[in-house]
Chain A
Amino acid sequence: MCPLSMCAPGEKVVIQRIAGGWGVKRRMADMGFYPGERLVVVNSSGGPVIVDVKGTRVGIGRNMANKIFVTIER
């Protein structure tokens, strides 16, 4: 398990845990991020991490990307 911010572009990952309070988790759930959901890392070059979630590109600020823990799928 590693933070999303560590993943390389092209990697397929599964969310395991989102760190943060009630508000943060709920917000992330509304945007489609919750444990068990699959993401594809599209861009990650030290700025925001851009992922594909449910067919849309969503940008995640670096700080938040550090708090989303994922496992990489083979």
Chain B
Amino acid sequence: MSDNRIIALAGNPNSGKTTIFNALTGSNQRVGNWPGVTVEKKEGVLRLEGTDYTVVDLPGTYGLSARSIDERVARDFLVRNKPFLVAVILDASNLERNMYLALQIMELGVSKVVLVFNMMDVARSRGMEIDARAMSIFLGVPIVPTIGNKKEGIEDLKRVISLYVRGLSADNKMEPGSPFKYRQDIEDAIEQVESMIPNEIAREYPARWVAIRLMEDDSEYRDIVARMSSGEEILGKVDALRQHLERILGYDVETAMAEMRYGYIKGVVREFVKRRPSIGDRLSMSDRIDAVVTNRYLGLPIFLLIMWIAFMLTFNLGGFFSDYIDAFFTFVGSITAAHIRTEWLASFICDGVIGGVGAVLVFLPNIFMLFLMLSILEESGYMARGAFVMDKLMHAMGLHGKSFIPMVLGFGCNVPAIMATRTLENRKDRIITILVNPLMSCSARLPVYVLFAGALFSAHQGTVIFSIYILGIILAVVLARIFKSMFFKGETTPLVMELPPYHIPEPKGVILSAWQRSALFVRKAGTVIFAAVILIWLMASFPLGAGYASEHTLIGRLGSVLAPVFSPAGFGYWQAAVALFFGILAKEVVVGTLGTLYHTTGSGLSAVIASHFSPLSGYAFMVMTLVYIPCIATIAVIKRETNSWAWAGFAVAYSLILGWSLAVIIFQVGSLFA
């Protein structure tokens, strides 16, 4: 039985599904512009006439053939959980493509279906007139026209949902008008296979659906059938039928079936949509931009220039605001020191809280700017083009152009970036992308670079930081290549991606999205980083009488044990060793630890760094921070996404060895020239 409290939203990427989801549930979520932004299963609550319904936002898919994990998530949910109602969100200006998924969901036949024709304004502006009412009667499903971002039609959708929930009233009774059928010989074959499906399977899956999948040679369903006692007999029959049909058709059955579905859709669209625009009649603005930015010679330089501008804005504009936050903490620190007489409390506030958490929060403007840049790139539509520009390079790495998106997201945070690899179809591509992702320097590591580059390379800090990011990318390229030849030989899957038209990002949306992501950073500063800083402060204060943050405290002793390991890299100070050690909890803690141990923040901390590090050893330390062991959250997500402790352990081991070796090489080789 299906649960009549569950409503699923399905649809192609870029159909405005997330907007409809937000309008229905009132929750605030990000709307991206590259295909596959909805990677996680999102749920929200819709309250209708006093009853709560769970609305599940499925990952965007083009069909139900379940090639990537994303698509599998969507298909499994529809097939296994059998939601009471599926609202299929379609881009109304693009029905010929969007109807393909809708048709497959109707074919599945486990849920009631509502078609939501979204973006009606775009369709109208393209001169399309859709006779939704007649089409609805023909297809035998309700059709609700909407304009998601203007909240138009949402009330109609809610009304249709509640009608369905209460059972259809007389005037809304839907009879299948003209159900879709394949050509007769294929229909006969499907029927023959359907009659052979054993009850064990038919209890869980619709028998016709299984028969269709088998005729399409779907390996997942072949495996399910193969486990049955009559499995061999059924698959033998399927193969015989397929061979027979292929001889008649002259090509493979699955292509023929896809062709018939598209043919049917074409007919429906021709019948009910008037004044269709002739396909590709004129070059749009987007096409003219694409001709330049995807050009063989210009593509890569333009890409690098855009990235460079984004980074410069992140550091220069962000740094401007950081100075004010720094001044604020210095002010609070001086007041505390002057007014609190209890020595340990003053130390706790000045050294622990302000020194540790303050040192991290100073970088909030940089991080906000970084996320702002990523949001703008995503929303404008450039990110999807980036995948093509980088495709050659990605192929040289033995990766897929699509791997580029998780890689760029890694600059924000590796945790969602690694989750975004779910859009990759090939498991090998996916594991390699996951393994090298931590080399994409996340925003948590940024405070370390800004601090060190500011203290040691004041004139060229932007360029120095850019070089660290570039180093991370180069290392990712080289290692991906090595991992590929070590663990996974074989070909990569083709790159085919929808390119949504460019549009100027909506300022409110972009700022909100950047703020939501930055807020996570603030929350982290209040929890994980705060806890780590207290621990470090305590370890730096005990045993009492040893002198705060001296070598004889607990933390000093721990650091002294670790420090010799880093001597060959030029930063064999126990404070640096401890900072790296606790940095595994969260990379911001590296700066937080230094702030706590040197009891100062901002410009004061810069001065201390300048006195302890040379530009060379400082650079070695930055490289170490870039490469060594991913933070705990990243390790956990690697384990979860690869479903293997071995891969997570491997990621930890290779990064530690590589990071240490590089730091040593940089310092030793650099010393020869100094």
Contact = CB atoms under 8 A, between A and B. Distances in A.
Interface of A: 9, 12, 18, 20, 22-38, 40, 42-43, 45-48, 50, 52-64, 67
B62 A45 contact: no
A41 to B, nearest CB: 9
Interface stretch (B138-146, B184-192, B285-293, B597-605): B285-293
Given A57-B286, A57-B501, A27 B65 contact: yes
B543 to A, nearest CB: 63
Interface in B326-350: none
B287 A64 contact: no
B67 A35 contact: no
B63 A30 contact: yes
B279 A38 contact: yes
Interface of B: 61-63, 65, 67, 93-94, 96-97, 100, 216-217, 219, 251-252, 254-255, 258-259, 262, 277, 279-280, 283, 286-287, 290-291, 294-297, 299, 384-385, 387-389, 391-392, 395, 401, 425, 493-501
Nearest to A45: B295
Contact of A47 (B67, B299, B497): B299
Contact of A50 (B387, B395, B499): B499
Contacts of B500: 57
Given A28-B496, A53-B97, A56-B94, A22 B294 contact: no
B280 A52 contact: yes
Given A46-B297, A50-B290, 17 more contacts: A23-B425, A27-B65, A27-B425, A28-B496, A29-B65, A30-B67, A32-B96, A32-B262, A34-B262, A37-B262, A47-B294, A47-B388, A55-B93, A55-B94, A59-B384, A59-B497, A64-B496
13 contacts: A27-B65, A27-B67, A31-B498, A42-B287, A45-B296, A47-B392, A52-B279, A54-B279, A55-B96, A59-B499, A60-B495, A60-B496, A62-B392
Given A55-B96, A56-B97, A46 B295 contact: yes
A46 B389 CA distance: 11
A20 to B, nearest CB: 7
Nearest to A63: B494
Nearest to A52: B280
A43 B291 CA distance: 6
Given A22-B217, A45-B291, A45-B296, A58 B496 contact: yes
A31 B499 CA distance: 12
What are the 10 tightest A-B residue pairs by CB atom distance, in nearest-first order? A46-B296, A61-B495, A40-B280, A30-B63, A64-B494, A52-B280, A29-B258, A54-B96, A48-B388, A30-B62
B259 A34 contact: yes
Contacts of B387: 59
Nearest to B91: A56
A32 B295 CA distance: 24
Q: Which of A24, A38, A46, A59 has the most CB of B within 10 A?
A: A59
Contact of A58 (B219, B425, B498): B498
B297 to A, nearest CB: 8
Nearest to A57: B499
A59 B389 CA distance: 11
Nearest to B298: A45
Contacts of B299: 47
B594 to A, nearest CB: 45
B402 to A, nearest CB: 10
A63 B100 contact: no
Contacts of B277: 55
Contacts of A20: 494
A29 B291 contact: no
Contact of B294 (A26, A48, A63): A48
